[in-house]
Amino acid sequence: MSTPASSRTGRLLTGAAMSLAVVLSACSSDSGSGETNDRGGEESGAASASSGSGSSDTGSTSSAPGADSPEVVATGLESPWSIAFHGQTMLVSERDSGRILEVSAGGDVREVGRIDDASSSGEAGLHGLAVDDDRLYAFFAAGTENRIVRFDLLGEAGDLSLGEEETILDGLPTANFHNGGRLAFGPDGMLYATLGDTGDRDSAQDEDALSGKILRMTPDGDIPAGNPFGDSLVFSMGHRNPQGIGWDDEGTMYASEFGQDTWDELNVIEAGGNFGWPEVEGIPEGNGAGDGGSGDGDGDFIDPVQQWSPDEASPSGLAVTDDSILIAGLRGERLHQVPLDDLKSSSELWTGEHGRLRDVVEAPDGSLLVLTNNTDGRGEPGPYDDRLLRFTP
């Protein structure tokens, strides 16, 4: 599938300590990363929608920046992938460098550790982070496998460091693309991990394979009681490349997923549910979003509640607030916002204003943090990219 070209205009960045404005105007075209009809390079390419304009103050001290003018908390990040919170302290992973960074509320950035075994190739590398009490969990590609490890977090805010690395799950399949990679602790205290089909599309329908699945495990990496497939880490199946997961206040689980050529998805995840890949992509014709219709007519597959074309989405990280779901888009270069009381509808924020968006999380104070992802070789980085943005909904 070819990647449509788009322009990014009118991105205005100002520094608090200097009266300098830089207006960026750049054209983005097919990245040449080998994107095929199977979207092997699905994260590549620019949005097809015409770019908007916005401003970001690199030194803003506003206590409540709005969505139309987010505060730039940190700049100069390199292919950032995931945000996790240890108390009030932000931790950010960098996919290609393997670094884990501590970001203070004031925007100071320091390295707390580096995962030397993380191997960067294509879309693989250091991916998701999650925190449980004083332990940090990380998902990364390590040569011929994906691995989940944890570290004790040592020290205080501003001086954090990592203890000895402990592997809790290894031997997961890997590839240059479709690795999933998101980690999150659910309201049940279990650790959830997304794993794409890693290029083996049929594995998504194989209950004995871990690829093409959302996994559920104890904090030690063991199989917990209540998993739907018995003695298996598999929680749900039939996924192509899910990269965002989250829960609402009632415990309902949501996941964003890269489709192939036609539809990217937002799914409501059910234990033991089969979401259809590679048999079905998106909502089958005649089935309305949220109708609960099956992909093949006999009830085997669960339909998404929302879908978008890849050039408008390519969804990665996901955050669930009190009233909506926000989904960060790579090729779409926007945030999709889906109200919890109407999962069939959605609106858009920031289209074309800040480039590719990798992750969005809700901070302990209720503000939203968003990572741009323009320095991974597929975006059009500005002079301050990549950035960590903050706004209050």
pLDDT at 31 over 60: no
| Cα–Cα dist 105/366, whole Å | 14
Percent of the chain residues topping a pLDDT of 90:
78
Write the single-letter amino acid at 137.
Y
Query: Mean pLDDT score of the chain, rounded to an integer?
Result: 86
Output the pLDDT for position 199.
Answer: 97
Output the pLDDT for position 240.
Answer: 98
- Burial pattern 38-67, b for ≥16 Cβ within 10 A else e, equals bbbbbbbbbbbbebbebbbbbebeeeebeb
pLDDT at 76 over 80: yes
48: left (phi over 0), alpha (psi -120 to 50) or beta: alpha
Taking only the tens place, the pLDDT of each residue in 109-128 is 999 999 999 999 999 999 99
Output the pLDDT for position 8.
Answer: 33
Output the pLDDT for position 260.
Answer: 94
> What CATH code is assigned to 6-391?
2.120.10.30
pLDDT at 333 over 80: yes
Domain locations along the chain: 6-391
- The single residue listed with the structure tokens 């989250």 is 246
Taking only the tens place, the pLDDT of each residue in 167-192 is 999 999 999 999 999 999 999 999 99
pLDDT at 197 over 50: yes
| pLDDT confidence tier of residue 38, bands split at 50, 70 and 90 | low
What lies within 8 Å, CB to CB, of 366 at 6+ separation is 321, 392, 393
Output the pLDDT for position 105.
Answer: 86
Question: Span 236-246, mean pLDDT?
Answer: 98
Output the pLDDT for position 393.
Answer: 87
| pLDDT confidence tier of residue 41, bands split at 50, 70 and 90 | low
| pLDDT confidence tier of residue 324, bands split at 50, 70 and 90 | very high
Output the pLDDT for position 232.
Answer: 98
Write the single-letter amino acid at 180.
G
Output the pLDDT for position 63.
Answer: 53
More confident residue, 73 or 9: 73
| Cα–Cα dist 247/265, whole Å | 16
Percent of the chain residues topping a pLDDT of 70:
81
Output the pLDDT for position 2.
Answer: 31
